[in-house]
Amino acid sequence: MIYVRAFRTSVLALEGRMNDSPPKNPLPRGMGQSRYGKVGVAMPDFVEHYSRNVFYKVGAAGVLGTGASFLSLGYLSTTPWMIGASVACWWYVGLNDIKQEHQSIRRNFPVLVHVRYILESIRPEIRQYLIESDHEAGPYSRENRSIAYNRSKLLNDAMPLGTRRDVTEVGYEWANHSIWPVTATEEDSRVLIGGKDCTQKYSASILNISAMSFGALSENA
């Protein structure tokens, strides 16, 4: 019990919550403390310290590096010209960001702000291909879209389910044997797909039986 209290006391002292006093030894930046002194997830250090002065320093270093590459490799080499073109693009984009008066974030973070714009533009693709599962998103999941695409191309639309789904989640549906079965009519067991503007309507079964392999059934079945 003494060790537990001592550990809790040290944690509270580290967070600065004892007697409403600030911590004596605050955490360094990038390790749980933001630039404003609040405990939390801080931005990367290079973003916090980036400014127009850093832009000018990087651009000046690029100019010096371009000159050094020309002196060492000569004018006939393509490497100095590629470095020079990159430095020219750096200055062109950065100066345009600083001179424009419509967006303050571009003036404060020249050139670097375009990385954010690029990530925002490809955010849907990153989420769709790298983060989302086959059963997420809306209004249709990737699994439902794949079934619709295969049916439109007259391909095989049978997809294995079973353990690919979470059978314990809320809303999961399944079929059980009935003690008092009733005769299902044709209208209750099928659904017509296609509206009034559809030229090729078709009737689909609501309940389908999945095929099983011969190895699972064996010849005795």
| pLDDT at position 123 | 87
Q: What pLDDT band is residue 33 in, cutting at 50, 70 and 90?
A: very low
The Cα 189–Cα 167 span in angstroms is 24
**Whole-number average pLDDT of the chain:** 76
pLDDT digits (tens, 9 = 90+) for 138-168: 777 887 888 888 888 888 877 665 566 677 7
Of 16 and 54, the structure prediction assigns the larger pLDDT to 54
Question: Among residues of the chain, what percentage have pLDDT more than 70?
Answer: 70
The Cα 191–Cα 5 span in angstroms is 66
* Least-confidence region, from 23-32, 46-55, 116-125: 23-32
Nearest 5°: CA angle at 119, between 121 and 66? 115
* Least-confidence region, from 1-10, 63-72, 154-163: 1-10
The Cα 95–Cα 111 span in angstroms is 9
Rounded to 5 degrees, what are φ and ψ at 31? -130, 55
pLDDT digits (tens, 9 = 90+) for 96-130: 999 998 888 888 889 988 988 998 899 888 887 88
Q: What pLDDT band is residue 2 in, cutting at 50, 70 and 90?
A: very low
Mean pLDDT, range 161-184, rounded to an integer = 76
